[in-house]
Structure 1
Amino acid sequence: MPAKTPSDKPDSITTGPDGNLWFTTGPGNSIDKLTTAGTLTEYPLPNLQSGPDGITVGPDGNLWITEFDGDMIAKVTTGGVFTEYPIPTPNTAPSSITTGPDSNLWFTTTNHVVTPSNPLVGRIGKVSTNGVITEYVLPNPQSVAGDITAGPDGNLWFTEDLIVGSAFVGVIGKVTTSGVFTEYPVPPNSLPQQITVGPDGNLWFTDSGSNDIAEVSTGGSFIQNPLPTSNSFPNGITVGPDNNIWFTEVGSPPRVGELVLSPSVHLKVAKFFTDSSLNPLPRDSNGNPKVDVVLANGVVTSTNPGQVLAWINVTNTSGSSLQALKLNDTLPVDWMVSPAWIPPKGSVGAIHVFYANGTSLASETEITQPSTITVSTGNPETVQLAISNFTATTIGHPLMPGQSILLSVKLTYGLIHTSQSASSFPRNYTDTAAGVAWTQASFTGVESSGTGSAFFIADAKVVG
């Protein structure tokens, strides 16, 4: 669809809170709204030559834009009413803008007028929804920040060009919501352009210098994916509805490309058993963990140990962070959750979830949320754990590569006070667990799975 004003050159675009498409037009000096039926409405900015550039939807339900030439951040209602907020530092040329995890708007600045009295100083800024602006100078002032996005780790991530002599050196930067920076130099010859969060929990960016689509983990590790055609000049980037990486190329001819992601997230699920004092179960002559079942006159009176703790250790063995997890633990036949699990509050001491950051089972950090746990009836019983967002738990962050959580379930023998034949022992009791993890909250993003099982032997000890 052609622009309404011939001089318009559409730039950044976003879906508005009203369901329409909103985009900036630099030369046209307007914000334009396009309905899905094709009706176009222009809203001129209050001041001439403002140079609207980046656009995003704010947490307040308004559109927020950067004015590259006007050195302002503007708020635009869906009715086209503007409120402009001047940036305290002049000639900063704000460019990209995004909503941060702290509900502020974060933006990059590029310093479009460089003079001896106004030297190049790279900055990242934030503006509250009531217009209070804070600026943070980059660790190396001789740099230019480009695109910015909210990362999966609760920080803001941005592309950056560092000026070294007469050359540019690419950098990917991270800034906390309190303004603390970390910079990761990209591989040689790279020039990062735009950046987005991938479904795998990594940051993905276009690299026009090395002609590739690159990814960086939240720990600063890079992987480059070269494009098949030279001089493609990749620029824009986003995640498609198919959970793959889509990007634009501004080379000749211009193209749109797709990078298909293969699930690379791995989940290790391991099972083991202890007694209620967290000691490993004793071993039989074959080296298998065992429980003694005490029989008196053909009736089960007790077990030794009296209770068994069934444990699941789930470890993120990938290079990506995990935000959501579902576990399904099928308990050994005849062994029951004790005390019985009564929703929604559960039962004291029966089931626990831990973040495995301690030096022993007794020192792990508990993150149990009873509402995330369900127990099925029947024999065998099944315990289900569903954590929709690790960041919302006591952990406060995703499950990072190499990190683990533990699920413990206290079991009591369900055949106590029943008649059993000593000749029917030993019996093999197996516990099987299956886990599925996702790289994004609410069980979305790239998915992986893992299973684990373990068993113990129950042998009869006849007394009386």
Structure 2
Amino acid sequence: MTRVSIEEHLVADGTAGPYALTTGPDGALWFTLVHSGRIGRLVPGEKPTTYRLDPDSGPTVITPGPDGALWFTEYRAHRIGRITTDGVIDAFDVPTPGCAPFGIAAGPDGALWFTETAADRIGRITVDGRVTEFPLPVTGAFPSAITAGGDGGMWFTLNQANAIGRIGMDGTVTLHHLPTQTAAPVGIAAGHDGALWFTEIAAGQIGRITHDGRITEFPLPDRAARPHAVTVDGGGTAWFTEWGANRVGAIAPDGSLTLHDLPTPHSEPHGITLGPDGALWTALETGALARITPADRSI
């Protein structure tokens, strides 16, 4: 893969802050507007729709739930939110005050699991809103992104503890420390080969960890690129955003790397996901969603 086509679709003004996005069960893209306190919905080729939350709630990561709704974290309001595909919104308080939830993902147990960045905890919320919290064995770790690992556990990044963690459905936590010091991992996504891919925002590297804890790191050509979020396409290629370099990148299972400049300077790409149309989509904090399609083949 050497060439891509990139199209930008404006979904908000420059102050709203598109941050994370996912494909919903209704075949639409759902995204968070972190600065304006809204959830957005975009069907490719149509106009976007947005739904208002509390203006200062800080919606961050959004994911499909096992109940056919979308679930998201409210980082500043310290809540977990839920929105149905027709726009009905609920919010659930987390027991620990000031916990600042960030990452969220559906688990293999029919619940949602989330990170509490300011409380050193992993949370679990059932679809009827019951929350359980699990303390981590470290302090000041800033747990960030989280994903189902394909091995029956949830895997997450510990941004300030320089580690990747795993929590089992019984609450047992295992930590795997990174070879590179102060790498500050953020994004994480499961591959198709029994491994997970993650970003090292401070080290300018992409990492890969197997279920038994073996870690491989791939330095980027621009070590100041600030890789942020990562997702894996149907062929096993991991796509990631370079927040500090205005690019998206792709790393194949064999470690080969391609990088692609975004058309608008300083667009600040954050979340990235495989869209309902088979293309990659990334959220640009400047107000757009960018569609990325390989020019030489379909994804």
- The answer for the alignment partner of 1:260 in structure 2 is 252
3-state SS of the aligned residue for 2:15? coil
Q: Is the 8 A contact 1:3 1:9 kept in 2?
A: no
Task: Indicate yes or no: 2:240 matched with 1:247.
Answer: yes
- The answer for the alignment partner of 1:193 in structure 2 is 186
State the alpha-carbon separation in 2 of the partners of residues 84 and 209 from structure 1: 33
State the alpha-carbon separation in 2 of the partners of residues 83 and 76 from structure 1: 6
Aligned pair partner of 2:20 in 12, 19, 23: 12
Q: Is the 8 A contact 2:203 2:224 kept in 1?
A: no
Q: Is the 8 A contact 2:57 2:75 kept in 1?
A: yes
Deviation at 1:262, TM superposition (A): 3.4
- The answer for the alignment partner of 2:168 in structure 1 is 176
Deviation at 1:48, TM superposition (A): 3.3
State the alpha-carbon separation in 1 of the partners of residues 213 and 253 from structure 2: 20
Amino acid at match of 1:173: G
Q: Is the 8 A contact 2:205 2:223 kept in 1?
A: no
Deviation string 1:408-456 (CA, Å, 9 cap, x unpaired) is xxxxxxxxxxxxxxxxxxxxxxxxxxxxxxxxxxxxxxxxxxxxxxxxx
Deviation at 1:173, TM superposition (A): 0.4
Matches within 5 A, 1:424-463: none
Deviation at 1:247, TM superposition (A): 1.2
Moved more, 184-193 or 68-77: 184-193
Q: Is the 8 A contact 1:14 1:21 kept in 2?
A: yes
Deviation string 1:374-422 (CA, Å, 9 cap, x unpaired) is xxxxxxxxxxxxxxxxxxxxxxxxxxxxxxxxxxxxxxxxxxxxxxxxx
Q: Is the 8 A contact 1:5 1:28 kept in 2?
A: no
Deviation at 1:89, TM superposition (A): 1.0
Q: Is the 8 A contact 1:105 1:127 kept in 2?
A: yes
Moved more, 22-31 or 231-240: 231-240
Q: Is the 8 A contact 2:159 2:186 kept in 1?
A: no
- The answer for the alignment partner of 2:213 in structure 1 is 220
Aligned pair partner of 1:79 in 79, 82, 86: 86
Amino acid at match of 2:189: T
State the alpha-carbon separation in 2 of the partners of residues 9 and 154 from structure 1: 34
State the alpha-carbon separation in 2 of the partners of residues 5 and 235 from structure 1: 22
State the alpha-carbon separation in 2 of the partners of residues 107 and 12 from structure 1: 15
3-state SS of the aligned residue for 1:42? strand
State the alpha-carbon separation in 1 of the partners of residues 21 and 57 from structure 2: 17
- The answer for the alignment partner of 2:71 in structure 1 is 64
Deviation at 1:241, TM superposition (A): 3.3
Question: Runs of 4+ in structure 1 displaced over 6 angstroms?
Answer: none
Deviation at 1:221, TM superposition (A): 1.1
Deviation string 1:157-213 (CA, Å, 9 cap, x unpaired) is 000034xxxxxx401000011211011111132221101111221011111233211
Deviation at 1:240, TM superposition (A): 2.1
TM-score (norm 2): 0.79
In the superposition, relative to structure 1, how do residues 251 and 7 fare at CA in structure 2: closer, same or farther (>3 Å)?
closer
Q: Percent identity?
A: 39
- The answer for the alignment partner of 1:204 in structure 2 is 197
3-state SS of the aligned residue for 1:200? coil
- The answer for the alignment partner of 2:11 in structure 1 is 3
State the alpha-carbon separation in 2 of the partners of residues 209 and 28 from structure 1: 27
Task: Indicate yes or no: 2:114 matched with 1:125.
Answer: no
- The answer for the alignment partner of 2:56 in structure 1 is 49
Task: Indicate yes or no: 2:235 matched with 1:237.
Answer: no
- The answer for the alignment partner of 1:153 in structure 2 is 151
State the alpha-carbon separation in 2 of the partners of residues 6 and 184 from structure 1: 38
3-state SS of the aligned residue for 1:139? coil
3-state SS of the aligned residue for 1:148? strand
Amino acid at match of 1:62: A
Q: Is the 8 A contact 1:211 1:227 kept in 2?
A: yes
State the alpha-carbon separation in 2 of the partners of residues 151 and 243 from structure 1: 14
Deviation at 1:5, TM superposition (A): 4.8
Amino acid at match of 1:228: P
3-state SS of the aligned residue for 2:199? strand
In the superposition, relative to structure 1, how do residues 235 and 6 fare at CA in structure 2: closer, same or farther (>3 Å)?
closer
Deviation at 1:141, TM superposition (A): 2.8
- Structure scoring higher RCO (CA < 8 A, sep ≥ 6) equals 2
State the alpha-carbon separation in 2 of the partners of residues 31 and 25 from structure 1: 6
| Structure 1: gaps of 5 or more residues | 112-120, 163-168, 264-464
3-state SS of the aligned residue for 1:257? strand
Deviation string 1:138-164 (CA, Å, 9 cap, x unpaired) is 1113321010000021000000034xx
3-state SS of the aligned residue for 1:236? strand
